[in-house]
Chains A and B, each alone.
Chain A
Amino acid sequence: MAVDAAAAHRTMAAKLIAAVKDASGAALLALGLAVPILALRTEQNISNELILQPRWGYVAVAVLAAFGGRLLYLLIAALPRRPPAAAQAAAAVGPARRFLGRVVAGGGLLVLLLYPLLTLALVGTSGAIKWIDNFGIQIMIYIMLGWGLNIVVGLAGLLDLGYVAFYAVGAYSTALLAQTFGLGFWICLPLAGILAAFWGILLGFPVLRLRGDYLAIVTLAFGEIIRLVLVNWVPVTGGYAGISGIARPTFFGLPFNASDTGFAAFFGLEFSPLHRTIFLFYVILALALLTNWVTLRLRRLPMGRAWEALREDEIACRSLGINTTNTKLTAFAIGAGFGGFAGSFFAARQGFISPESFTFIESAIVLAIVVLGGMGSQVGVAIAAVVMIGGTEILRELDWLKQLFGPDFEPTHYRMLLFGFAMVLLMIWKPRGLVGYRQPSIFLAERRAVRADMVKEGHG
């Protein structure tokens, strides 16, 4: 026993030394990176001369952080595990996860339904607009976009980097139809969806033969083409000036304004801009839930199963009599249609749109939401959207950090850095996204989730 203990002691010591060595290596690497990036800051003084400002403190922090972080990571990884317990947990993971999924989905839905009332109760009328608009509506738009893109990327396995194009088509359709023909939001909304779906098919046709990286590049180009057309076709789209004065949604014909025929007057309420915000929140919630319902339903229909089969193996699909052309086109069209709905809502909510809202970074964010959420998982996409969009909005609220880091500190500048950090961490711990398993669409005896490593990502 004593010998065993001594041996264990020696191996632990050896492990510790190895970990310290490894961490020192990481620290050295951090030093090499930090010196050119952080150590010197160039500034101009009053007489316009360049002066160097040394910032060795920053370098020290970076190096120490790298050393400490790496050491901690290695030590945690070296901790002894209890394998039997882990195996038991793995065996029971199916039902537990399903239960957890239901709790998250049901609880999330309840929170969403009560969200405007909760904010009203917590922060009062003045603060509620900000919370419902900046957080609630903004996040819901991205959840809807994520669910729409999930059809194309998550289910059909077609990597689409230009999804924002359909968002733009929906927004500009609504704006132009409203401006030119004086149509209301409720007529523009379905038309925008149909037009976006039509553009989805139009894009789908030429790219059907492409797979993987090639498909990604072409869809990326398509997104840019749409944006450049919007920028340059000034007589129609107004170029960078955009389109303003877009009709706002009405409540069964009642506009949200202070007039005698408005919503507030009709219901005998005191006029408040809050009414419209709350109404808009429920509109986008309904649209997003519609997207979710249709997607969940489609997964259990032959069309949805064909999408997933296409992601798994296109050649096998062809050998079973599935028309892969039509299958890809329906995925593109339906995904694009939901993007169009979201765009239409966006235009009506803002009342003003310009090409700057439809840059590539929007496509990238929506794709990141789908990938982080776990490809094909509805709940995962919703959680990822809340974290990513809510997280960036939260940064605006962190004014207390200015007291910590000085008045020049602007938390929103670190948005992309945090974004990158979050993504790296997630890809280390959950390489297949937050929800890394697939629910089968039909079962004989028992619904058992399919492990993510079985599921293919699709090849375009």
Chain B
Amino acid sequence: MSGSPATLLSVEHLTMRFGGLVAIDDLSFTAAQGEITAIIGPNGAGKTTVFNCITGFYKPTCGRLLLSLGGPPAAADVAALTASGLRSRVTPTGSIFLLERMPDHEIVAQARVARTFQNIRLFPGMTVLENLIVAQHNTLMAASGFTVLGLLGARRYREAEAEAVERAKHWLDKVGLIDRADDPAGDLPYGAQRRLEIARAMCTQPQLLCLDEPAAGLNPRESSDLTRFLQSIQREHGTTILLIEHDMSVVMEISHHIVVLEYGQKIADGTPEQVRNDPRVIAAYLGVEDKEVEKVEAEIAP
């Protein structure tokens, strides 16, 4: 273990069935603290379903989603939490969460997981700044004394709001939208909306950021900007990133670790170099039938 970073999220035996359809079948992988992990695979492989399970939008049929903040937990702690039926447990170094037991809003607020969506989901009728302020809802809600103090105009709330605006400005600067802060989010061009959605997710101050196809619909320049932006998030904020992406130039450039899904099953897991040369991955992407995989493998293998 020495040298390699600690595991932030470990997905163990995750299975999700919709009636008779098995969307994810016994999937296990880990996302290391402070690294970028990519999930790739053909359309319909179950990538977004994995995200929906991690962020609490779906309850997995079975499996364990363990998120540990503040360093690797002792096995005894994990076992105790799993047996207890509770959602989280404070450990000597930090705390651990079982995401499959938590509702979506608690996953964001306590386990500090944020996400974006494949089809952008901004608040189009609210301004860019308002979008980022809404993202800090839970902090501000507590500062406003659950509205009572805020209604009376308490100083504590005004200070918290000023702080929230500062954080919003920081992220607006980073995504280059500071000049458009007072425009409705729905008025922004597509690429800017994508960046704003990531900035909004970052305003929740996440430990784990789940991005669902952030480069979809971007032109090459925009996607190379996005690549740099994601790397800066990962380096400067130490945020762990989980990424679904079809744009292989982005994936191969920034990922430390790639998980490949096909038909809900993991077919490869490793560094970009390993995955790039994996015959099963190539077969999956070239669309070869299962029977022919061995033949193709034989052909590809030197």
Question: Nearest Cβ in chain A — how far from B49, in angstroms?
Answer: 15
Give complex CA distance A302, B169 in Å: 18
Q: Which of B108, B125, B130, B144 contacts A321 (CB 8 A)?
A: B108
User: With a CB–CB cut-off of 8 A, which chain B residues contact A448?
Assistant: 127, 182-183
Give complex CA distance A450, B126 in Å: 7
Contact A294 B151, CB 8 Å, known A309-B126, A315-B121, A318-B57: yes
- Asked if B253 CB lies within 8 Å of chain A CBs, one says no
Q: Which of B126, B141, B184, B200 contacts A308 (CB 8 A)?
A: B126
Give complex CA distance A312, B124 in Å: 7
Q: Which of A297, A330, A443 contacts B127 (CB 8 A)?
A: A443
Closest to B107 in A: A321
- Asked if A442 CB lies within 8 Å of chain B CBs, one says yes
CB atoms of B182 and A444 under 8 A apart: yes
CB atoms of B130 and A440 under 8 A apart: yes
Question: Nearest Cβ in chain B — how far from A197, in angstroms?
Answer: 14
Closest to B115 in A: A319
Stretch of B35-43, B132-140, B285-293 at the chain-chain interface: B132-140
Most B CB atoms within 10 A — which of A294, A315, A317?
A317
User: With a CB–CB cut-off of 8 A, which chain A residues contact B108?
Assistant: 319-321
CB atoms of B121 and A301 under 8 A apart: no
Question: Nearest Cβ in chain B — how far from A228, in angstroms?
Answer: 35
Contact A454 B140, CB 8 Å, known A442-B130, A443-B129, A447-B182: no
CB atoms of B141 and A302 under 8 A apart: yes
CB atoms of B121 and A313 under 8 A apart: yes
Contact A305 B134, CB 8 Å, known A320-B108, A321-B108: yes
User: With a CB–CB cut-off of 8 A, which chain A residues contact B123?
Assistant: 308-309, 312-313, 316
Annotate A431-451 by CB proximity to B: 1 below 8 A, 0 otherwise.
000000010111111111011
User: With a CB–CB cut-off of 8 A, which chain B residues contact A313?
Assistant: 121-124
Give complex CA distance A312, B130 in Å: 12
CB atoms of A455 and B125 under 8 A apart: yes
CB atoms of A454 and B187 under 8 A apart: yes
Closest to A309 in B: B134
CB atoms of B137 and A306 under 8 A apart: yes
Give complex CA distance A438, B125 in Å: 8
Give complex CA distance A156, B63 in Å: 36
What count of chain B residues pass the 8 Å CB interface test? 46
- Asked if B165 CB lies within 8 Å of chain A CBs, one says yes
CB atoms of B181 and A444 under 8 A apart: yes
User: With a CB–CB cut-off of 8 A, which chain A residues contact B274?
Assistant: none
Give complex CA distance A40, B134 in Å: 62
Give complex CA distance A213, B67 in Å: 39
Give complex CA distance A317, B29 in Å: 28
What count of chain A residues pass the 8 Å CB interface test? 39
Give complex CA distance A313, B106 in Å: 18
CB atoms of B135 and A454 under 8 A apart: no
User: With a CB–CB cut-off of 8 A, which chain A residues contact B184?
Assistant: 450-451, 454
Closest to A449 in B: B184
Question: Nearest Cβ in chain A — how far from B65, in angstroms?
Answer: 16
Give complex CA distance A305, B144 in Å: 13
- Asked if B96 CB lies within 8 Å of chain A CBs, one says no
Closest to A452 in B: B125
Q: Which of B105, B129, B144 contacts A318 (CB 8 A)?
A: B105
Q: Which of A318, A320, A443, A450 contacts B125 (CB 8 A)?
A: A450
Closest to B150 in A: A301
Annotate A309-349 by CB proximity to B: 1 below 8 A, 0 otherwise.
10111011111111110000010000000000000000000
**In residues 159-197 of chain B, which contact A (Cβ within 8 Å)?**
161, 165, 169, 178, 181-184, 186-187
CB atoms of A440 and B126 under 8 A apart: yes
Give complex CA distance A323, B178 in Å: 29
Question: Nearest Cβ in chain B — how far from A96, in angstroms?
Answer: 17
User: With a CB–CB cut-off of 8 A, which chain A residues contact B114?
Assistant: 319-320
Question: What are some 25 contacts across the A-B interface (CB < 8 A)?
Answer: A298-B147, A303-B141, A303-B150, A306-B134, A309-B137, A311-B125, A312-B122, A312-B126, A315-B121, A318-B57, A319-B55, A319-B114, A319-B116, A319-B121, A320-B135, A321-B204, A324-B105, A330-B147, A441-B130, A444-B178, A444-B182, A445-B182, A454-B124, A455-B124, A455-B125
| Shortest Cβ-Cβ A-B pairs, 10 listed | A321-B108, A455-B125, A312-B123, A316-B121, A302-B140, A444-B181, A321-B109, A301-B150, A454-B186, A454-B184
Given contacts A320-B200, A442-B133, 19 further A-B contacts (CB under 8 A): A302-B147, A306-B134, A306-B141, A312-B125, A313-B123, A316-B123, A319-B116, A320-B135, A321-B109, A322-B138, A323-B105, A440-B129, A441-B130, A444-B181, A446-B182, A450-B127, A451-B184, A454-B124, A454-B125
**Residues of A at under 8 Å CB distance from B?**
294, 297-298, 301-303, 305-306, 308-309, 311-313, 315-324, 330, 438, 440-448, 450-451, 454-456
**Residues of B at under 8 Å CB distance from A?**
55, 57, 104-109, 114-117, 121-127, 129-130, 133-135, 137-138, 140-141, 144, 147, 150-151, 157, 161, 165, 169, 178, 181-184, 186-187, 200-201, 204
